Structure 1
Amino acid sequence: MRKISVILILIVLALFHLRYLSQFFDWDSCVYALNIQRNRLESAFYNPHHLGFESSGLLYWKLLQYIYPTTDIMFFLRLRILSFALFFLGAFIWLFYKLYDDFLLAVILALVIQFSQAFWFYSLHNDTPMIHSCLMALLFLFTVYFIRKGLKTGHLFFLWFLQLSSIYFHQSNVIHFGMVPMAILITENRYFGQKMRTIFIYLFTLGAATIISYLFVGFVILKKGLGNPNESHFSFWMFLYAAIDRWGTSVGDKNYIHYFYRGIGDAFLVFQTVIPKFRVDFSNLWAKQSAAFNFHLLFWIFSLGIGFLNFRTLWSQFRTEILIMIFWLMPSIGFYTWWEGYFFEFWVGTTIGLWIFNYYILKSLSFPRLPYFSRSVLHCTYALLCGFYFLTNFTYSTLPRSIGPKFGYVEGIQGPVLKLAEEKIYNR
């Protein structure tokens, strides 16, 4: 019955999303679609930051055209992202229920994640954040699940493949190398020497596979060289964005607190983009235009504050999860704040992790002698948050972007973008 319920929930979500599928076109989504449309390996592997995104998209597009010839590439590429997002939500519900034995909570929390701004926006958008972020969340959940099963060799093979896939879909996931090693270290069915050998083998083979993959793509597929330091040089391709002043260590003043505040805020709610200033304003706590955002921020301040004050209980109940989560969330927050923290696309995975962590915090406040009451409080809390996120993000983000084509930054590719926006499927 639970499996049928999950399938029905996913079907309803799929139909709803198809009704309000985004018709928003920006530079990234269009360039990635055009790279696939060119039907050339060189274009599919042009961007080293996500070897698996356009290359798997090209395979998907070839298979789709073999089954159903069409020219509506952007629609079907968005459908690919949506399908993976729905698959993740189904896997999340199943894993969360298996781990914490609360099916209704798993469903509601999955919907809270779904209706968070970053997850919702990028589940309907042909861009890179969704797949690799979901893979990282699955890596965390499966790691915790396998620890409870004893973390056998077969489990490690599965986690190794999952982590390598996440790196292929976004290069930045190499910063999460410590998640599985930490899981190996805290298992109880191995001696310390065995643990260290297993960690070495895991990291060495993962690093070797990653390096060999990049060398193969760079030198064999793209035919890069090591001669003159120009655009055909391997290092220029490998560190493409780092060679452009806009990203990373770009020149100029950087307010990293502001970057984090803006990026993580937009990842949960339409935090800044509705009006040209932040919608949080504690000087007007009950003002109509800012009250919801004020109390949303207060909710997170309260949650994290309670987690700090109640850390002993939190640690005793979720020690394994917290130790592994440290190697997921802390590198993400640090790196993405430095890299391009003001773009909410980099916070998709972090918001998933923060919602899971939020559950641990609120769960640690439960009353052992009142289990049903404690569960009801959790269910009601997340149900209210789910409704609030749905109403806000649908009104100000999803609905406007689903009504006719809208354009973000498309400088230099206006012509191809207009052709993508004229897909026949929207006119039927």
Structure 2
Amino acid sequence: MLQVNYIRENREKVLERLAVRNFKQPELVDELLQVDEKRRQVQTKLDAISAEANATAKQIGELMRKGEKQQAEQLKANSGAYKEQTKTLADELQQLEQQLQQIIVLLPNLPHSSVPKGISADDNEVALEHGDKPNLPENALPHWELAAKYDIIDFELGNKITGAGFPVYKGKGARLQRALINFFLDNAGKQGYREIQPPVVVNEDSGFGTGQLPDKEGQMYHIGVDNLYLIPTAEVPITNLYRDVIVKEEELPIRNCGYTPCFRREAGSYGAHVRGLNRLHQFDKVEIVQIAHPDSSYQVLEEMSSYVQSLLQALKLPYRVLSLCGGDMGFTSAKTYDMEVWCAAQKRWLEVSSVSNFETYQANRLKLRFKGKEGKPQLAHTLNGSALALPRIVASLLENNQTDQGIKIPAALVPYTGFEYID
């Protein structure tokens, strides 16, 4: 969530950065500032009347001590108007603060100055490309056919049990899933990330804290009876560990990671681009989350990007890194890198990770602050990244590594799978 003081003092810059996002409601900025001006005027009046009421109360006390009871009673009778005025102004102030909150949550984060302007994914910039794309024979199979051939993933059975987008992993397919989770967690631990096993359901406060609410209600599974939400990513519960917390400056950066299943309702379109593992309602992911000092958060972002790339390199997957344009970034992000792997049989790039710096946007919602030995608390920066999301990693491993002997497992994974081929 943006800070009202910053918007008030930097109106033109705010509008300029929102334009980079191709934000469709810039008028909300001036609407917010008008409400804020009214709120400040009412606050000033309320403060003045409260001060006057306090001064009168003090005067009444002095008169009573002097024995001038008649004058004191007269002042007391006249001071009744203060209570009525104070209540009226307090009610008006509360309404304006609610109105202010309703507007400010509609404003997305401001893109960093390095974020390219653009409208859609077509405007994203390719920052780098790594690895050679495998040359497969003409009869190479897409991963959903390979999954059926080797009986490792059953999409129809998942559809029977739950519905489309909930696959069943079997045999070596299930073991590959578990191997990837452990591989990602072990590598995160070596990089100094503390492993967390968080709940996979969260309350409204948690959803608001990281920006899923009120922006993404339609993409989240809602448990109506208990008013809880299935998490779309481990970012939500892990970041919310620090809601309403003041950390020590010397503790920064704080590194946490966690594996969770993730649930998203966004799937549902049709066509080859969403077949098989390309888009699911439920999937597994290892997430890395950092709480960083504002002065170093962009260095942290680059380090997180490099770390995710190291995982793809270890798995021998061709990948590219995209710097997302303003129009394609998430609502809460200030800067995002997407990592995409090449799926050789489909002959297309598939996103497997997003690494983002949210600057103070989430921290302001969370009231997540840090404090040095001197000085007052200030908002921290939050960052997170997929390290990694499994479905498309599995899709690319199956497609890129298909051979006459079966699916060859990357050497780095063999200690985790216990087998070299899926056959």
For the aligned pair, the TM-score class normalised by the smaller chain equals under 0.3
Higher helix share: 1
TM-score, L = length of structure 2: 0.22
TM-score, L = length of structure 1: 0.22
> Rg bigger for which structure?
2
